Structure 1
Amino acid sequence: MQVHITNLHGQDSKSTAQRAQNMVTEIATKQLDFNEMGLYFYPVKSDSPDKLSGRLDGIISALNPGDVVILQTPTWNGTHYEHRLLDKIRGYSDVKIIAFIHDVEAWMFEGMEFVLDEYIKVYNRCDLVISPTEKMTARLRKHGLTVKKVINQEFWDHPVAVDTATFPPFNRVVNFIGRGKKFDFVKNWSAADVKLILTDTDTGWGAGKNIEFIGYQNDADLVSRMHRTGGFGLLWSENPLWSEYMKLNVSYKLSTYLAAGIPVIVEPDTPQADTILAKKLGLVVNSLDEAVEQVKQMTPADYQEMVVAVEHFAQLIRGGYFTKRLLTQAVFDLFYD
């Protein structure tokens, strides 16, 4: 039996969706001996039925009866593409399929609810589903998910090299990976005693604010910079749609902060909030004002206790252990009734 895993290519190099799939596949192929089924992001409607059929035949060319296929979804090529891919896979006898749900498009973007039913149909064609969180699983069940075997992810990994000879320093700064265009709340940052460090460029709205603009950073440089700068990593949104979605999904941004070795700031509805509190990985607050106040009141000793706890936890994230455990558990559960 060979385990195969689909992997997305062809999106922008800054795409978090592609980065997450590539990361999972690298761990799966290099450490668990899975086989990559590479697929590309492209305008599927440009394919004739015969051309799409041939393209999919190439993707699954290494598949044999009795194998396991992990479909990382969404492929971002649409549900028609995913259904046709499943048709091809189901053409082989005794093949088992795992849907690894990274995101649910219907709940990410305005006006996309119409695709939900088709995605539920994709998931229900699989033998096991990896869902981001318990909250996501419950909502999917409410909307028609019937697959009996479901396991929850809870955390992303983030393999990256970090200089662990020193801990992040205690500084009253808040790091935020995001841009003002998408996360409008940063434009209202008014804390004089706590600096906001933002991966954006200043187009004028930052004048007079305690904000440092560092622009886009590649992954390794960003993690290294946050490790050297210290402070906290902020996971936040005040956009109603995105705030609601953040209650359901697993944030890649959260694991980026933890991989850098810095404590995090999250809301109580964040799915990982209980773990963050229990393992002293950061602050759980109800508002940005509360976050700023807690950072202002933080002592070096309190911060040191947190970064020690974060460094302990980060070894799992940097080492890919959440992914290895998740994929191994998924395959195990397929065959262990």
Structure 2
Amino acid sequence: MSETCVLTIKEKKMMDAGIKAKKDISKFLSAENIEQINLEVNLDSKLSKFFFSNLILAKAIRNGVYNNFFFQYPAYSAFIEDKVAYFIKKYHSQANFFIIIHDVESLRLFRNAEFKNREINFFNQSAGLIVHNDKMKQWLLNNGVKVEMVSLEAFDYDNPQPLNSITNQKWSICFAGNLKKATFIKKLDLKHELYIYGSRVKKVVGNVRYCGRLDPDILPKYLRQSFGLIWDGTSLNQCDGVFGEYLKYNNPHKMSLYLSSGLPVIVWKQAAVADFVEKNQVGITINRLSDLDEILDKLSIDDYRQLKENVVKIAKGMRNGVYIKRAVKNLLALEKA
């Protein structure tokens, strides 16, 4: 039996796209002989959360014989999350409790002092965190996290589809994600075609092409464009609003979708992942979407082919879980040091 396990709690009604990153982490770490505890919960009532926590969760944790627990956070219930920490300490007092962060909710949907204090205190109950990147790490340090932290750099992506190998100079762009909050699309007037994937939109204009909503494992097959776009909010001049501001700290999962599919990315220069894109030369960073046509017009086929070559190297790593495997290894090494 492995001495390490990953605990993943899924809300029963959550769509596959919402759980994709957690499923992939579980799969990639399973390949390293790390055991998995996968549980489902109905978050609709306090009663269901109470019974889940004190019966199903407690039993699953109690029955394991592990030295290291990695919990995929958040579980979208503070009550359940607190019970995870409580039962691990109760039944495995000598074990290490680590957290793999998918979202910092006090940076995203719950930006108030009370929630932030609760979330930081929860993180500090752990022996260490796997965070998205160094920007997120610095914010957590500045706001009171005292435990060890390791940067993931990028989410891996289990991608069964062939890599996009298109290199013609008729540049096109794709955008996949929550189209309801990507209201900047309504204002976008590009001469280059933009193909959008996600929940149905009432109306598209100009060179925008709506392509439907697809399963995250199928979607890469249809991403035959030149670039994948990472942008959020209402504005063409910057990423704004709650989700635009969040881009300064998080690793958007769509970056991994694009790169693992063989597509270079276009991303806001102030986004946290702009550092990753520039360091690995796997895309273009921009200040404003209004500059995009001009930037693409100046892009040579040789420069694009170099981007594609760099993307293929990153894609192969993402498809094999290289980032999460390295982060887990590094965090365990820090704990033993």
Deviation at 1:93, TM superposition (A): 3.0
| Residues 195-249 of structure 1: CA deviation (Å, up to 9, x unaligned) | 1100146654314x111110101223321211xx231100001342111111101
Deviation at 1:42, TM superposition (A): 2.0
Unaligned runs of 5+ in 2: 234-239
CA contact (8 A) 1:170 1:304 kept: no
Q: Which residue of 1 aligns with 2:304?
A: 303
Q: Which residue of 1 aligns with 2:281?
A: 280
Q: Which residue of 2 aligns with 1:59?
A: 60
Q: Which residue of 1 aligns with 2:82?
A: 83
Q: Percent identity?
A: 20
1:194 and 1:144, CA in 2 relative to 1: closer, same or farther beyond 3 A?
A: same
Alignment of 1:17-56 (within 5 A): 17-29=18-30, 31-43=31-43, 45-47=46-48, 52-56=53-57
Whole-angstrom CA distance in 2 between matches of 1:138 and 1:203: 37
Whole-angstrom CA distance in 1 between matches of 2:102 and 2:335: 20
CA contact (8 A) 1:174 1:196 kept: yes
Q: Are residue 237 (structure 1) and residue 232 (structure 2) matched?
A: yes
Secondary structure of residue in 1 paired with 2:287: coil
Whole-angstrom CA distance in 2 between matches of 1:166 and 1:174: 15
Which amino acid is the alignment partner of residue 220 of structure 1?
A: D
Whole-angstrom CA distance in 2 between matches of 1:317 and 1:296: 30
Deviation at 1:112, TM superposition (A): 5.8
Secondary structure of residue in 2 paired with 1:163: coil
Q: Which residue of 1 aligns with 2:162?
A: 163
Whole-angstrom CA distance in 1 between matches of 2:53 and 2:84: 9
Which amino acid is the alignment partner of residue 321 of structure 2?
A: G
| Residues 73-92 of structure 1: CA deviation (Å, up to 9, x unaligned) | 1111x222111221111012
| Residues 85-120 of structure 1: CA deviation (Å, up to 9, x unaligned) | 211110123111111111011222266653221111
CA contact (8 A) 2:42 2:49 kept: no
Deviation at 1:50, TM superposition (A): 6.5
CA contact (8 A) 2:97 2:128 kept: yes
Q: Which residue of 1 aligns with 2:195?
A: 197
Which amino acid is the alignment partner of residue 229 of structure 2?
A: L
Secondary structure of residue in 2 paired with 1:7: strand
Q: Which residue of 2 aligns with 1:332?
A: 333
CA contact (8 A) 1:8 1:75 kept: yes
Secondary structure of residue in 2 paired with 1:162: coil
1:18 and 1:11, CA in 2 relative to 1: closer, same or farther beyond 3 A?
A: farther
Which amino acid is the alignment partner of residue 81 of structure 1?
A: I
Secondary structure of residue in 2 paired with 1:220: coil
CA contact (8 A) 2:17 2:216 kept: no
Q: Which residue of 2 aligns with 1:176?
A: 175
Deviation at 1:146, TM superposition (A): 1.6
Which amino acid is the alignment partner of residue 232 of structure 1?
A: F
Q: Which residue of 1 aligns with 2:236?
A: none
RMSD of equivalent CA atoms:
2.2
Deviation at 1:47, TM superposition (A): 4.0
Secondary structure of residue in 2 paired with 1:109: coil
1:161 and 1:201, CA in 2 relative to 1: closer, same or farther beyond 3 A?
A: closer
1:50 and 1:293, CA in 2 relative to 1: closer, same or farther beyond 3 A?
A: closer
Whole-angstrom CA distance in 1 between matches of 2:39 and 2:156: 22
Whole-angstrom CA distance in 2 between matches of 1:205 and 1:273: 31
Q: Which residue of 2 aligns with 1:222?
A: 219
Unaligned runs of 5+ in 1: none
1:67 and 1:180, CA in 2 relative to 1: closer, same or farther beyond 3 A?
A: closer
Q: Which residue of 2 aligns with 1:99?
A: 99
Q: How many residues are paired up? A: 328
More displaced 10-residue stretch of structure 1: 258-267 or 177-186: 177-186
Secondary structure of residue in 1 paired with 2:333: helix
Deviation at 1:162, TM superposition (A): 3.5
Whole-angstrom CA distance in 2 between matches of 1:142 and 1:327: 23
| Residues 161-216 of structure 1: CA deviation (Å, up to 9, x unaligned) | 2335944544321100134421100011211x201100146654314x11111010
Q: Which residue of 2 aligns with 1:265?
A: 266
Q: Which residue of 2 aligns with 1:132?
A: 132
Deviation at 1:45, TM superposition (A): 1.2
| Residues 113-144 of structure 1: CA deviation (Å, up to 9, x unaligned) | 53221111111111111111211122122222
1:203 and 1:321, CA in 2 relative to 1: closer, same or farther beyond 3 A?
A: closer
Whole-angstrom CA distance in 1 between matches of 2:70 and 2:252: 21
Whole-angstrom CA distance in 1 between matches of 2:231 and 2:113: 23
